Structure 1
């Protein structure tokens, strides 16, 4: 019932969507003892989502250059944006996971969203998937004007603050390998004047630094709202 309401059409192959909502930490075994989770569907959904949004932006902004289009697409497919979208449409309530890993937790909802897109593509085809993304999601849940004027590069914002305020900031990133050595996580701590002002995790150095920068900006705004 939820999927039919979400997509506007009834799913034909429910097993695809069930798999799309299984994070690798909650993998189950199939009849051949192979783990079943949403990683492959996520890979597919990522490509489909990127293609649909690229075409949408190309047609929506006919006078903008490649740089603008690339930046807009990046904003619309980044993990934090997809996580917010997952929560808005209520998909987060159906995701299965068994992990306490901070870096993994930051990806679970966005990954599941991409996996659902992959499942819809396999089940209903490109045209239906494109219609869902553009007419249901982008039309009802995304303010393109707001996205256009939102700077999501938190690290660059923090560096700009340090230059204006003449405060030196330092990024210290360390790698943490858990049970699955193929998927290391990274932790970044940001300090100024030897005081920690932000800490963030991610599956890459860049992501952990962005998350730590976001936390640092939130902290700096809390003690001085006029600092940004």
Structure 2
């Protein structure tokens, strides 16, 4: 005879799954019976959760998968929509559509952090958490519903809402790449000096100094070295905007 506690535990777990699925449907309009998969898509690595085999249970692997699916769907869309575009142009436009800025906006619009499980306070997350969760969510949809359904979801939430291709073409997706291209073209020396901040904060932070002609032109601070350097480059771009725009076309 099964114990009352085991029945109660199973029922509580089922109820919790139901509550999660209800919240998921309210925020995204998506219904699923695979609650554990989608819970993993919203589990931050700070929880240190793992399965019975010791494999990590967080959204990072699903984020990787979702990123690949997004890239494939957007590449197919561009191939069909822009027949005159060469490989370089199509690659550039795909990067703009699936840029971190764009995915962050979508994740924020869907209020995805309301579903996240983490040991870090939500107000300590940077904006990139929204894009990370959206990619993991896409990965979960792909596993649960297959490619066709996932492609339809991406078309609805990304491709149907992008602006005119010509307008999108002028958007900057990486200030760091733009700044490096400018300096190399003009033969101007530059370098990033980045290091981890040693603080008592729960989230790791990195600081970056951007040197331009051997003087510091901008600084950035973020939750990764890459993000800190991008932030510094963005500030440097605004400081040299007119000069950069004239030389980079």
Match of residue 126, structure 1, among 147, 165, 169: 147
1:17 to partner: Cα distance? 1.3
Q: 1:10-67: per-residue Cα shift (whole Å, max 9, x none)?
A: 2121221111011212333445565421122112111111111111111111221111
The answer as to 2:102 corresponding to 1:81 is: yes
Which residue does the alignment assign to 2:17?
none
Flag the 1:79–1:97 CA change in 2: closer, same or farther, 3 A: farther
The answer as to 2:41 corresponding to 1:20 is: yes
Match of residue 77, structure 2, among 46, 52, 56: 56
1:6 to partner: Cα distance? 5.6
Which residue does the alignment assign to 2:134?
113
Normalised TM-score (structure 2): 0.69
Q: 1:99 and 1:9 mapped to 2: Cα distance?
A: 26
Flag the 1:27–1:79 CA change in 2: closer, same or farther, 3 A: farther
Q: 1:64 and 1:14 mapped to 2: Cα distance?
A: 41
Question: Is the CA contact 2:222–2:228 (under 8 Å) kept in the aligned structure 1?
Answer: yes
1:203 to partner: Cα distance? 4.3
Partner-residue secondary structure (3-state), 2:158: helix
Q: 2:211 and 2:68 mapped to 1: Cα distance?
A: 37
What is the alpha-carbon root mean square deviation over aligned residues? 3.6
Task: Tell me which structure has the larger Cα radius of gyration.
Answer: 2
Write out aligned runs for 1:43-192 (5 A): 43-99=64-120, 105=126, 107-140=128-161, 142-145=162-165, 146-158=167-179, 170-176=190-196, 187-192=207-212
Partner-residue secondary structure (3-state), 1:36: coil
Flag the 1:144–1:93 CA change in 2: closer, same or farther, 3 A: farther
The answer as to 2:217 corresponding to 1:217 is: no
The runs of 5 or more residues in structure 1 that have no matched partner are 179-183
Q: 1:134-187: per-residue Cα shift (whole Å, max 9, x none)?
A: 1233213x22433222122313544677799x9x67433334499xxxxx9864
The runs of 5 or more residues in structure 2 that have no matched partner are 1-21, 199-203
Q: 2:180 and 2:63 mapped to 1: Cα distance?
A: 33
Q: 2:47 and 2:128 mapped to 1: Cα distance?
A: 14
Partner-residue secondary structure (3-state), 1:83: helix
Number of matched pairs: 213
Write out aligned runs for 1:1-40 (5 A): 1-4=22-25, 8-31=29-52, 34-40=55-61
Q: 1:99 and 1:216 mapped to 2: Cα distance?
A: 31
Question: Is the CA contact 2:206–2:223 (under 8 Å) kept in the aligned structure 1?
Answer: yes
The structure with higher relative contact order (CA 8 Å, sep 6+) is 1
1:123 to partner: Cα distance? 1.0
